[in-house]
């Protein structure tokens, strides 16, 4: 597979916007397993077309980034082809992998020079006033108590790692970047923040707040 992928002739064919011979899922899988150059070429063209559409509104998603993402995605699709269960169209599945790959690279470029410490300690985030108009005085007090309890639980109930990961995520830092700073991986970061959310939920319930208090708009 790798030798085929590295052959420039496979990928130097001009993109063709005309519909090609439709391939069903079985044909895609069979042709790619057999390393048919036409299938690789068709998949490459289709993924590039779909990525252009998917990321049309994303700044910095230039043609060279998209082409690199397609190249990486072809490798990933081929590596995972045995995991394709046929529950969607093959091209939808392959496109989901390509979008994941391209967006990960966009996020990496955006955040690569940002330190975790700076993100977590950054106080320059413009605070939004609590919108309490229309609430009763009781409602306002409940909301204030809820926020105070949440702040306390974050400091007292979470581990340092959970607190750092959760704060960084709330500041918009991508999970892959948090993982890189913590010497971890995205799945582990998800578990870290999921465990943190579970602790906070349990803490709020133990403090007497109901689901209605938590979901009421601030």
Partner 1 sequence: MPLSESEIDSLLRLVSLTEDVEINCEQCLAAVAEFAEQKLAGKSIREALRAVEHHLSVCAECRAEYEALLRTLNNIGGQGEG
Residue pair 77/94 in contact by the 8 Å Cβ criterion: yes
Question: Smallest distance, Å, CB 186 to partner 1?
Answer: 6
Residue pair 201/155 in contact by the 8 Å Cβ criterion: no
- Residue 72, token pair as written in the block: 């990486």
Task: Please name the residue that has the structure tokens 């133990």.
Answer: 206
Nearer CB in complex with partner 1: 40/42: 42
> Helices 137-157 and 160-170 sit at what angle, rounded to 10 degrees?
130
Name which position in 3, 59, 113, 127 contacts partner 1 (CB under 8 A): 127
Name which position in 13, 30, 130, 141 contacts partner 1 (CB under 8 A): 130
Residue from 100, 124, 121, 122 nearest 175 by CA = 100
List the Cα angle 91/93/99 in 5-degree steps: 95
Name which position in 4, 91, 142, 182 contacts partner 1 (CB under 8 A): 91
Q: Is 88 helix (H, G, I), strand (E, B) or coil?
A: coil
Name which position in 95, 162, 165, 168 contacts partner 1 (CB under 8 A): 95
Nearer CB in complex with partner 1: 4/190: 190
Residue 174 near partner 1 by CB under 8 A: yes
Name which position in 41, 50, 73, 162 contacts partner 1 (CB under 8 A): 50
Cα–Cα distance for residue pair 51/9, rounded to 1 Å: 21
Residue 200 near partner 1 by CB under 8 A: yes
Residue 20 near partner 1 by CB under 8 A: yes
Residue 99 near partner 1 by CB under 8 A: yes
Residue 107 near partner 1 by CB under 8 A: yes
- Residue 177, token pair as written in the block: 């970047």
Tally of CB atoms within 10 A around 78: 19
Nearer CB in complex with partner 1: 78/174: 174
Question: In this structure, what are the phi and psi dihedrals at residue 140, rounded to the nearest 5 degrees?
Answer: -65, -40
Contact residues: partner 1, CB under 8 A: 19-20, 22-25, 28, 42, 46, 49-50, 53-56, 83, 87-97, 99-100, 103, 107, 121, 123, 125-130, 146-147, 150-151, 154, 166-167, 170-172, 174-175, 186-187, 190-191, 194, 197-198, 200-201, 204, 211, 214-215, 218
């Amino acid at each position: 597979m790798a030798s085929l992928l590295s052959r420039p002739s496979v990928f130097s064919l001009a993109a063709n916007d005309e519909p090609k011979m439709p391939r069903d899922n079985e044909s895609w899988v069979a042709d790619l397993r057999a390393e048919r150059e036409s299938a690789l070429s068709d998949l490459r063209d289709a993924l590039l077309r779909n990525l252009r559409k998917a990321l049309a509104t994303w700044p910095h998603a230039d043609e060279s980034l998209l082409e690199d993402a397609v190249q990486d995605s072809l490798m990933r699709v081929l590596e995972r082809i045995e995991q394709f269960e046929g529950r969607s169209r093959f091209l939808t599945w392959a496109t989901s992998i390509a979008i994941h790959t391209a967006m990960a690279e966009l996020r990496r470029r955006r955040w690569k020079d940002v330190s975790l410490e700076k993100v977590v300690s950054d106080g320059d985030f413009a605070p939004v006033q609590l919108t309490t108009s229309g609430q009763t005085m009781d409602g306002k007090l409940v909301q204030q108590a809820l926020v105070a309890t949440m702040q306390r639980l974050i400091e007292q109930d979470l581990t340092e790692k959970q607190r750092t990961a959760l704060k960084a995520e709330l500041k918009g830092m991508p999970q892959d970047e948090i993982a890189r700073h913590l010497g971890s991986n995205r799945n582990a970061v998800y578990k870290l923040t999921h465990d943190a959310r579970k602790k906070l939920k349990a803490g709020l319930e133990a403090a007497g707040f109901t689901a209605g208090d938590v979901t009421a708009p601030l």
